[in-house]
A and B are shown apart, each in its own frame.
Chain A
C-alpha cells in the first residue's frame, strides 16, 4: 500500500495547494512582483539589446551635437561631449546593476555566514566576530575606499569591494539579531529533540527563515550601492568616465543642471525606477517566500 502512496506523492495529481518553486506560479500570485517586473524587464531588455538600437555608442563623442535637447534622434538628449545620454544610460544601467547586485549578493553571503555563526554559537565566537564588526563600523568607510583605490586603482571591482566592506558589518549585525531571535523558537527545540545536528539546524531552520528580512535589506542595499557609487565618483573614487555608470553620468551632468537638465535628470529617473522596482521585487519575493501569506 505504501508503495502506491509514494507514487501519488510524485505524480502531478498529488495535491500541492500552492507554489513551491519560483517560476510561473510566483508571477501569478504576486501583484508587487508583477509591477516590479513590468518596470524592470523593459529596462533590462533595452539594456541587453542596446547595441541593436539605432543609437550612437555610449562612448561615441560628437563635437557637432553638444548638449542637445532630447529629440527623436537622442531621446535623452546629448551631453557636454555630444554623446547620446540614452545610450550612456543604458550602458550605465548594466554597470550600476552589476554594482548593486554584486554588493547585495556578497554582503548577504558574508552576512549570512558570519552572522549565523556569531548568533548561533554565541559565546567566544560571537564576541570575536562582533568586535571585528564593531571595529569596521567605527572605521570610516571613506578611508577604506580611498585605500583600496590607491592600491588597486579605480574600477568596477574596487568600487564593489569598497561598498561591500562598508555594508557587510551591517548585514552581519542584522543576520545575527535575526538568528538570536530564531534561536529560541520552538521549532529549533523540536529539531533538537530529534537529534538534528547544529549544521542541519542552521541550514534547514535558521537560515531559510532569515532570508526574507535579509532580502528586503539586500534590495535597499542594492539601490544604495548604486548611489554610493555615484558619491564615490563625485570624490573621484568611483567608476571613471568615459565608462558610464548611472552614478557618474548624473554626477557629470549635475554641473550642467542649469544649462542642460536632462543629462543628469534622465538617468536619475532611471535609478529611481530601478530602485522602486527592486523594492517591489524584494517585497514581492518576501511575500511569496512566506508561506503564512498563502491561504
Chain B
C-alpha cells in the first residue's frame, strides 16, 4: 500500500499503525496495523472490548502514550503533519492547537490545584498568539458556548468546586478553544450521568458541526455510537476488524465480533426477554504472537483458514470494510440459539394461581420512610454543620423472588439505600425489615476484595466469620458456589488481580450467595464491566434468581440493563423515590417528568431510531444536596414546572394499582 497524499478534506490519515508497550513481561502489541481516514467534519467512533487497543490507538495519534508505549511503525498524518516522526517541540505546537483532546474522567483530568483560568488561558495565548486579555476573552467565550452559565465567575473557580458535568464541559471548552481541526475524545462521557451524558454528547455534536472539526471518539456505549457517529470502527486485539458508516454497520454487521457485540445489549424496544447473547471466551493475550484471526477461538463461525491465516480487511459495502473470512459473519442458526428468559414476576402477581401468588406476595424486604442524613462537620466548632439528606423518606418493598431496580442520577442516594439495607449505615429515621439476610455485590468487584486474599479465602470468609461448619464442609460449599456461578475450581488458588473483570464479578456473586441470603443487593454490578461481559453477568443473575428464588435489588445507571433485569423499578431523585412500578410499564409510559427525561436521555443502539428521535434534554444541574428543597426537588429542572411545585412537596401516591408517582401533574 502506498501512502496517498492528503487532500484538503482529509484531516487525519492513519496507515498501518503499530503501537507496542515494551513491558518487563513481554511486548504488548496494543495496536497492530490500523489504517483509516477521517474527513473534515466527520465523527468516527471506535468501539471494542476493553484492552483491545482503543486508547493506545487514540493516544498514538498525538503521541501521548505513557511509558513503555511506543509507536513502532506506521504513519499518522494530521492535516499534513507527520506526527509519528515529528520532533517533540514541533509536536507541542500541534497538540492543543490542531488537535484537541478530551479524556474520560472529568474528575481527574483537570489540574486540581489550578484555577480553570490558569489552565485554559495560557494554551490559548500560546497557540493563537494573543495577549492575556484576549486569551481570557476567548476562554470565557468558549466556556459560555459549552453551556457554563457564569463564565466570568466560573473561570476563577477551581475544578473541585464544580460538578463532573461542568468539568467535562470545561475540558471540552479547553479542547476546542484553539479551533482544532481534529478532536480526540477517549470515552468522554463514560464517567457521567445519563442525563449529563446526553447533554455533553449533544454539545460535542453541535460544536463539531459548527466548527467543522473532525472527531475521533472512543466509547463502549453502542447507543452513543448510534446517536453520534458518522462512522464506526470496531477494534479487536489491536486491529480494526470492521469499519464503516454507522447506519450500515448497525444494520448489517459483517464481523462476528461486531455481531456478537450488538446482540449482547438488551433490546430497548423488545418487551419480551430473551437471553442475552454472550461472546464466549477471552480476548487473546496481546503479548503472544497471534496466528490467523485473533477472534477465531471465540467465533461461532470459525473455519480452518481462520486458525492459520489472518483475514485482510475487505470491502463489504460502500465504505464498509471488515476482516473476516466469512462473507457475512455468523449465520442465523447461531443467533437463533438464544433462549427465552423467564417471564417477569409482576405479571404473575395478577395470575389466577392463588398459591403461587401468595408465596410471591410475602415481602422479604421492607423499608418504611427511611431517612439518612450525613452531617458534615467543619473543623470550626461554631460554623453550622452541613447536612446531606442522602435518603429522604424512602419506602420500598421487595417480594420474594422479585428484582427491584433502582435508577436515578449520581448522588441521588442509591448507594446509600443499598448500604442501609445491608446495615453498613444506621438509618437516621425509619425502619428496615429483612426476612432472612441481605448480601451485597459491589460495583467494582476488584476493590471489594482484599488484594492479599486468594479467591478461596474470599468466598470462604463469610462462612468462617459466621462460624459455619468445619473446614471440609466449608471447602465443599466454596466449590459448589464457584461452580454455581460458572467458574472453574482452578480459580480458587488465584488472587483477585489474576482474574478478569467478569470472573471477579462472578466471585463476588458467589461470595454473596455463600450465606444463602434472601436478598442480594447489587450496586451497579455491571458498570465496571465490558459490554460483552456485562451480558454474561446479567444472564447469570437472571439464572440465579430463577434457580434459587432469591430477591434482588439491582442498582444501575444503565437503564437498558435495569429494564431488562428488573421486575419492578424505583426511580430516585435527590434522596426520594419519585416513581415506582413494574419495569415495563414505567419504561413504556413514564409518569414523572424526571423519569421521562431519564428515559429520553438513554441512547439506543440503533442509528435509525436515534436519528429520528427529537431529544429533549433536561437542562441545569442537580441542586445542592445540602439544601433541603421546599417544594418538588425536581422543580428546578422540570420542563412542566408550575408554581405549586415550588411550594408544595408532592408525595408518592398510588397512580394505578401497581404504580406510584410523586408528581402533582402526573397524567
Contact = CB atoms under 8 A, between A and B. Distances in A.
Q: Do chains A and B make direct contact within the complex (CB under 8 angstroms)? A: yes
A187 B476 contact: no
A14 B493 CA distance: 8
B493 A17 contact: yes
A131 interface: no
Interface in A194-241: 194-197, 200, 204-205, 208-209
Interface residues of B, number: 41
Given A200-B465, A292-B451, A2 B442 contact: no
A3 B470 CA distance: 13
30 contacts: A3-B476, A5-B476, A6-B476, A8-B489, A9-B489, A9-B492, A14-B490, A15-B493, A17-B494, A18-B495, A18-B498, A186-B442, A187-B448, A187-B449, A189-B424, A189-B440, A190-B440, A190-B448, A191-B461, A193-B423, A193-B438, A193-B439, A194-B465, A195-B462, A200-B465, A209-B450, A209-B451, A209-B452, A292-B495, A292-B497
A295 B424 contact: no
A205 B447 CA distance: 12
Given A291-B496, A295-B25, A205 B450 contact: yes
Interface in B36-50: none
Contacts of B456: 9
B247 interface: no
A291 B497 CA distance: 7
B107 interface: no
Contacts of B326: none
Contacts of B494: 17
A194 B476 contact: no
Contact of B447 (A20, A185, A194, A208): A185
A127 interface: no
Contacts of B444: 186
A194 B493 contact: no
Contacts of A16: 493
Interface string A261-295: 00000000000000000000000000001111011
Contact of B461 (A186, A196, A289): A196
B466 interface: yes
Nearest 4 A/B pairs, CB to CB: A194-B462, A291-B495, A2-B476, A16-B493
B154 to A, nearest CB: 30
Given A193-B422, A194-B466, A295 B498 contact: yes
B479 interface: yes
Nearest to A191: B461
Question: Which among A9, A16, A294 has the highest number of chain B CB atoms within 10 Å?
Answer: A9
B584 interface: no
B472 interface: yes
B165 to A, nearest CB: 25
A252 B422 CA distance: 65
B622 interface: no
Nearest to A4: B479
Contacts of B476: 2-3, 5-6
Nearest to B479: A5
A292 B499 CA distance: 11
Contacts of A290: 451
Nearest to B419: A189
B599 interface: no
Contact of A190 (B423, B442, B452, B472): B442
A255 B451 CA distance: 52
Interface in B179-193: none
A270 to B, nearest CB: 32
Interface string A157-198: 000000000000000000000000000011101111111110
Contacts of B452: 208-209, 289, 291
B447 A186 contact: yes
B480 interface: yes
Given A193-B424, A194-B515, A291-B452, A6 B439 contact: no
B617 interface: no
Nearest to A16: B493
B544 interface: no
Interface in A62-103: none
Contacts of B443: 186
B508 to A, nearest CB: 8
B475 A15 contact: no
Contact of A194 (B439, B454, B490, B498): B439
B451 A291 contact: yes
Contacts of B448: 186-187, 189-190
Contacts of A205: 450
B374 to A, nearest CB: 13
Given A15-B490, A295-B25, A6 B440 contact: no
A193 B437 CA distance: 10
Given A6-B472, A187-B449, A193-B424, 11 more contacts: A6-B479, A16-B493, A187-B447, A189-B440, A190-B448, A191-B461, A193-B439, A194-B514, A195-B466, A204-B450, A291-B497
Contacts of B419: 189
Contacts of A195: 462, 465-466
B451 A197 contact: no
Contacts of B442: 186, 189-190
A20 B454 CA distance: 9
A12 to B, nearest CB: 11
B652 to A, nearest CB: 28
Contacts of B489: 5, 8-9
Contacts of B514: 194
A293 to B, nearest CB: 9
Nearest to A3: B476
Contacts of A193: 422-424, 438-440
A200 B475 CA distance: 20
Contacts of A186: 442-444, 447-448
A290 to B, nearest CB: 8
A190 to B, nearest CB: 5
Interface in B474-506: 475-476, 479-480, 489-490, 492-498
Nearest to A289: B452
Interface string B417-439: 00100111000000000000011
A149 B240 CA distance: 74
A209 B496 CA distance: 14
Contacts of B438: 193
A185 B451 CA distance: 11
Contacts of A200: 465
Contacts of B479: 2, 5-6, 9
Interface in A134-166: none
Contacts of A289: 452
Contact of A187 (B450, B472, B480): B450
A276 to B, nearest CB: 22
